[in-house]
Amino acid sequence: MINPTPPRPFVLVRARRTQTSNVDVRRRTAEEGQLRPPLRYLCGTRSKGCNHSDYTYLLQFKKTGTNKYGAATGTLTLFGKGFGDVLAQSTAFSGGPNSPAESDPIPNGTYKIQLMLSHVLSSLSIDPHTWGLKPDYGIETIQPIVEQGASFDFTYEWGDIRAALNHSDNGDPHLQGNYLHGKNRVGDYTHGCICERSETILKLLLQLSGQTPGAMVPTEVK
């Protein structure tokens, strides 16, 4: 679910490959518009000859267990200037094969959140074919819609904020259409997205979207 025309290109600086580096990310050049080999987000302690990428933040969802619905549970962490710089941390869950959704957790991999802000304010945000929200490729605030006597409350499933987890592999449907979002419904399961009920990190990403609009946040799921 990559935006075919992102508002600004994102480029990683060239880095040497070392055994002590962490978290592979990919880069795209504005001129060629194609994926490059994996580079390193951050260098390991005392590593030599490794340059840092020009991404400012890194978000990580680390799966540590499962709940009664079979959903993957774990820790959601937003890093700043290195793995020692934890800006925020909370719990999250994804999927639920034993739930009414019957959905697997989000696949492991590297996604990207684009800090472009939009708002669900009217029925223009509703897909008339599915009566669900239209896809969004950035970060989006959500509030109930009331128009002409009809009301739609998408916060029940989405919470107040959702951020698209864009992935470069458009050929795999399991990697597309996923979001990081909140939730007001009871039951810790999703249809494959990552849910952060507290919205602690989502609120911080919302703030960052105003400070660095269009910036990309690599999101590692493992």
Asked if the structure places residue 24 within a domain, the reply is no
Asked if the structure places residue 137 within a domain, the reply is yes
Asked if the structure places residue 1 within a domain, the reply is no
Asked if the structure places residue 25 within a domain, the reply is no
Asked if the structure places residue 197 within a domain, the reply is yes
Q: Give the whole-angstrom CA distance, residue 55 versus residue 13.
A: 9
Angle (nearest 5°) at CA 93 between 117 and 204:
30
Q: Give the whole-angstrom CA distance, residue 32 versus residue 46.
A: 34
Asked if the structure places residue 45 within a domain, the reply is no
Q: Give the whole-angstrom CA distance, residue 98 versus residue 134.
A: 27
Residue 202: domain span: 55-221
Asked if the structure places residue 5 within a domain, the reply is no
Averaged pLDDT score across all residues of the chain: 79
Structure tokens at 201: 């990190």
How many Å is the maximal CA-CA distance in the chain? 64
How do 194-195 and 109-114 pair as beta strands? Answer: unpaired
Among the ranges 22-26, 83-87, 172-176, which has the highest mean pLDDT value?
83-87
7 Cα distance to chain centroid: 18
Contacts of 75 (CB under 8 A, 6+ apart): 60, 61, 62, 64, 89, 90, 91, 92
Q: Give the whole-angstrom CA distance, residue 2 versus residue 164.
A: 9
Answer for the pair 27, 12: CB distance below 8 angstroms, yes or no.
yes
pLDDT value for 192: 95
The per-residue pLDDT for range 78-128, each reduced to its tens digit, is 999 888 899 999 999 999 999 999 999 999 999 999 999 989 888 889 998
Counting beta carbons within 10 angstroms of the beta carbon of residue 186, is it exposed (0 to 12), middle (13 to 18) or buried (19 or more)? Answer: exposed
Asked if the structure places residue 35 within a domain, the reply is no
pLDDT value for 20: 32
Q: Give the whole-angstrom CA distance, residue 13 versus residue 105.
A: 32
Domain count, the chain: 1
Among residues 10, 60, 13, 83, the alpha carbon closest in space to that of 165 is found at 60
Name the pTM for this structure: 0.76
Lowest mean pLDDT among 2-6, 45-49, 158-162, 194-198: 2-6
As separate numbers, helices (DSSP H) first and strands (DSSP E) second, the chain gives 2, 14
pLDDT value for 48: 54
The per-residue pLDDT for range 124-158, each reduced to its tens digit, is 899 989 989 999 999 999 988 988 788 899 999 99
